[in-house]
Amino acid sequence: MATTAADGPPVEPQSLKKLSLRSLKRSLDLFAPAHALLFTPDAESKRIRTGCKVRAEYGAVKDLPPEQGRGGQGKGSAPPSSMALALPGTKDTKDGHREGTSNAIVPVPLMLPKAPESTIPGKNTTLSIPGSSDRFSTSALMERIPSRWPRPIWHAPWKNYRVISGHLGWVRSIAFDPGNEWFCTGSADRTIKIWDLASGTLKLTLTGHIEQIRGLAVSQRHTYLFSAGDDKQVKCWDLEQNKAIRSYHGHLSGVYCLALHPTIDILLTGGRDSVCRVWDIRTKAHVSALTGHDNTVCSVFARPTDPQVVTGSHDTTIKFWDLVAGRTMCTLTHHKKSVRAMALHPKEKAFASASADNIKKFSLPRGEFLHNMLSQQKTIINSMAVNEDGVLATGGDNGSLWFWDWKSGHNFQQDQTIVQPGSLESEACIYALSYDVSGSRLVTCEADKTIKMWKEDLTATPETHPINFKPPKDIRRY
């Protein structure tokens, strides 16, 4: 609204844009006339600037004694012709050098003391130049140390070639036949299904659990299949009769993981009661309880030599167990989140453990930390497996399937599972995965009730899929 002065016409309100333009015009009118004018050079500033330049460039030889600066003067000085340097100059100056006249100024090489061997370049040190530390970078003079991080081995990328449907609930566990002819899966629909590995067809369905089945294992020496579930039950199935022949009672809550000892007839199970229990598979006797974890035991594997049992828990620790004494041999506290998955390398004396914070590698039998994998999956990792070729696969809660080079920790492929039609996007979750006995096929169990099978892309070459690898700059020691 217009405002009215006391004794004049009404005044229009000024917009912000108009006021800004008026201020800019006033500034332009003020400074434009003197824009092209240069300030008168100050003689004192010029003298100081010239003195600084002289000190920077000639500081090392500016204050030499006269006998070192002139040829033919001073006792014991060499003849001028032997010390003259091939420096540019006028013809008269060069003639004076040639004739050896005493009035010609001849530059003499500065005789500096011999540098100690520790300062010679190439001895893991840098070259020191007088007066150059403030003007030049020494990075060009430093010895280039090659990275000691191992280069990754090229692996062909993996691709999904088959999707199997048949379960009516989340597929939570998987185990392979030692003969590599079939594999079995356990599901939240309370059934165990046995599938033909070559064709992917259903061969058998076993029922008996009353809750989802979290763990499966197939014996290498007997025709037995072992299963564990949220119903606190651990069952032994005879695959010749296709029925449950034993139950192992003792867990106080759901059983989350299960493993068979490779040389002794014992079974290891871990669950929500924070205990890893040891069972005799022949007599269904409870041999011992490995207590020490503060939370759910969610991953376990067994070895023929000490430590024969290794467990991972939601309390973020990994424990090595003395099976004879029933005590903890060692506790690893490197992880900050639950250790939901572990994978023992089939050839090397090492294993990897996965947590939401990182994937770490440890040596056996002492459990020394080797290194972290070079990328972070940034999700809860439910399962992992490694084959003899050194390809580590990890399955995440968000459906991500990442492949790693075991030796270097380089992540060479990141894949994302696709849910089957009719499923929610949130059901893109991998609960379990395992390689077959040959290590050439990977099977994943997922939340969209499907089983997906993966194999290497045989058409890929190092030229079509080059390794994009950069060694880490900082190597973490924990």
What is the model's pLDDT at position 473? 78
Choose among 220, 222, 173: nearest CA to 194: 173
Calpha distance 105→102 (Å, rounded):
8
| Virtual torsion, Cα 98, 101, 104, 109, nearest 10 deg | 60
Between CA 295 and CA 304, with CA 301 as vertex, the angle to 5 degrees is 135
Q: Is the dihedral of CA 355, 360, 363, 366 positive or negative?
A: negative
CATH topology of domain 166-456: Methylamine Dehydrogenase; Chain H (2.130.10)
Choose among 197, 188, 231: nearest CA to 449: 188
Choose among 53, 66, 56: nearest CA to 106: 66
How does pLDDT run along the chain (478 residues), one tens digit per residue? Answer: 444 444 555 656 778 888 888 888 888 888 877 766 665 667 776 777 677 666 766 666 666 666 554 544 444 444 444 444 444 444 454 444 444 444 444 444 444 444 444 444 444 444 444 444 444 444 444 444 456 788 899 999 999 999 999 999 999 999 999 999 999 999 999 999 999 999 999 999 999 999 999 999 999 999 999 999 999 999 999 999 999 999 999 999 999 999 999 999 999 999 999 999 999 999 889 999 999 999 999 999 999 998 999 999 999 999 999 999 999 999 999 999 999 999 999 999 999 999 999 999 999 999 999 999 999 999 999 999 999 999 999 999 999 999 999 999 999 999 999 999 999 998 999 999 999 999 999 999 999 999 999 999 999 999 999 998 888 877 776 6
Calpha distance 133→56 (Å, rounded):
11
- Give per-residue burial for 352-378: e unless 16+ CB within 10 Å, then b: bbbbbbbbbbbebeebeeebbbbeebe
Q: What is the pTM of this model?
A: 0.69
Q: What is the DSSP letter of 458?
A: T
For the chain, give every domain's residue range. 166-456
Q: Are 239 and 224 in contact (CB under 8 A)?
A: yes
Q: Which two tokens stand for residue 142?
A: 């430093």
Calpha distance 412→417 (Å, rounded):
17
What is the model's pLDDT at position 309? 96
Choose among 127, 145, 124, 149: nearest CA to 137: 127
Query: Maximum distance among all alpha carbons in the chain?
Result: 117
Q: Is cis: bond before 79, omega within 30 of 0?
A: no
The residues with which 197 forms a beta bridge, in sequence order, are: none
For residue 82, the SS3 value is helix
AA identity, residue 80: P
Write down the number of H helices and E strands in the chain. 5, 30
